[in-house]
Amino acid sequence: MRLIIFFISLMFFSCQNNPNLVNDLFQTKAFPVEVISKSKMIHTEEGEIKLEIVANKIERFVGDSARLSFSNGFNVTFYNRSGNVTSNLFAKKAIVDEKNNLMTARDSVVLKSKKKKLETELLIWDEKKEKIYTNNDVIITTDNEVIYAKGFESDPNFSDYTLKKISGKMYINSKEK
């Protein structure tokens, strides 16, 4: 009988929880509240389509840092007031800060319009200011030239843009004399 009481006592006294270990185990991690695979989202304003996003995976996070996380590639198609496509934005990853309406696209970013293509590794789209920009290296390819720069700013339609620190320009199909 003493042996049984000894083992029961031993179990009660030896099984203590270290509060720090428990907190580490159940520490609040930022898990998505929603995960969407192979999605298509259409954004409209006043009945007019502004943009369309096609993504392989979207994760929605809520709280102080409410955001959308796009991984495994996505495509944003921008439309003008007439409903015509003006430009496309492709990237492997992006984060949308829902509070500030900022999208940060990363990894193999390509912005295309009918006659121009921009390539970079980081591009930020500020929806409130209707501006797309980066301070990273960019390559812009047109029918006639390839432009290298560090820094870029444009409207979402990629029709009016400014380059900073242009490092070179190469003309394609030019005749040498």
State pLDDT tens for residues 5-37. Answer: 766 665 565 555 666 665 665 555 668 888 989
Separation of alpha carbons 85 and 11, rounded Å: 71
3-state secondary structure of 65: coil
> pLDDT tens, 96-153?
998 888 999 999 999 998 889 999 999 998 988 989 999 999 999 988 888 899 999 9
- Please report the pLDDT score of residue 177 as a whole number: 42
Q: How far apart are CA 91 and CA 6, in angstroms?
A: 65
Q: What is the pLDDT of residue 134?
A: 95
Residue ranges and CATH numbers for the domains of the chain are: 30-171 (2.60.450.10)
**pLDDT exceeds cutoff 90 at 91:** yes
Helix, strand or coil, per DSSP, at residue 22:
helix
pTM score, whole prediction: 0.73
Nearest one of 167, 157, 7, 5 to 82, comparing CA atoms: 157
Question: What pLDDT does 92 receive?
Answer: 95
Which of these ranges, 11-15, 71-75, 148-152, 156-160, has the smallest mean pLDDT? Answer: 11-15
